[in-house]
Amino acid sequence: MENHPNHNKEDHNPYEDEEWDFESEEEEDDGGSSATRRKWIRNTIIFLLVAALVGNILAFWPQIYNMKTLPLLFKSKELSSQAKIQSYKEAVVLVSTDNGKGTGFHINGGYIVTNYHVIEDNGYIIVKFPEHSQSYKAELSGSDPDLDIAILKVDIGNQQLPFIEMERNQKQWEPGDPINVIGNPLFFTQIAIEGAVIGLVPIQGRQQPALALDAPIYGGNSGSPVINEHGKAIAVVYATTDISHQDQMMRAGLAVPVADFESLLLKLLPPEED
């Protein structure tokens, strides 16, 4: 049975500033009562502004901290105490456009792998290395829209920035293999999760099957590297879907195996030495 994926690009959800227009009123010169009235108006305005601010915060808070995100944050903090996870995080970037944000990762030489739907039809692309507080304007260097893969290029000069090595050999994974995923889900950045490989599943509208993951994948994880126990990226997260696994339905992450876009990598990067 073919599955219908849900892409995990995160759209901007800004809270627009509220404009407060107050028409000036002519006040009668009535001594103390005029001063009292002005003080009352000022206090009322302050109260309304504070109430509006608190209301926005209270409305926004459950979207950030809830029963879904708190375990995610706690687990990420636990995993991030590991040296290997910290090294992966240094190579994972925030990809921002005029329509939203997603994840990408540096594969050396200023090349960034992400999803095509993250950068599609956008006026600008900014790549930020959160662990280094460095941002760069990115250009599209190559893409495969059918696979939902894009490779960006940023000018890093002579800098030697951290990168994640790609596992470019065919099918270097088995069902049940442990994996880590680093990304920018929901309203957060540099979130580390762990999970396991399920296997290849057919997806409606795609010629190639996707790699299904038993891992908590959310909006904003698009473009996240799927890293094996040897520290190499074996796939790129692009969506989630419901699949049947071990006689029950479950929510699974979907990723594009690196081997599927090896031909694109060969055009941009020299082949790896054995």
Domain ranges of the chain: 71-164, 178-264
pLDDT of residue 9: 62
**Catalytic residue (choose from 117, 143, 224, 260):** 117
CA distance readout (Å), 153 to 64, 108, 222, 264? 32, 10, 18, 14
pLDDT at 255 over 90: yes
**Catalytic residue (choose from 76, 96, 143, 222):** 222
pLDDT bin (cut points 50, 70, 90) of residue 67 is low
pLDDT at 57 over 60: no
pLDDT at 170 over 50: yes
Q: Which of the listed ranges 49-58, 173-182, 247-256 does the model predict with the highest average pLDDT?
A: 173-182
Q: Which CATH architecture has domain 178-264?
A: Beta Barrel (2.40)
Q: Is 148 a catalytic residue?
A: yes
pLDDT bin (cut points 50, 70, 90) of residue 60 is very low
Q: Is 247 a catalytic residue?
A: no
Decide whether 71-164 matches 178-264 in CATH topology: yes
Task: State mean pLDDT over 173-187.
Answer: 94
pLDDT at 85 over 70: yes
> Which is nearest to 167 in space by CA: 242, 53, 259, 264?
259
Domain 71-164 has CATH 2.40.10.10: yes
> Which is nearest to 181 in space by CA: 248, 133, 253, 129?
253
**Catalytic residue (choose from 76, 96, 148, 224):** 148
Compare 20 and 163 and report the one with higher pLDDT. 163
Show Cβ contacts of residue 143 under 8 Å, excluding neighbours closer than 6 positions: 116, 149, 150, 151, 264
Only one residue has tokens 């006026």, namely 123
Task: State mean pLDDT over 67-91.
Answer: 91
Q: Is 106 a catalytic residue?
A: no
- Give the predicted TM-score (pTM) of the model: 0.76
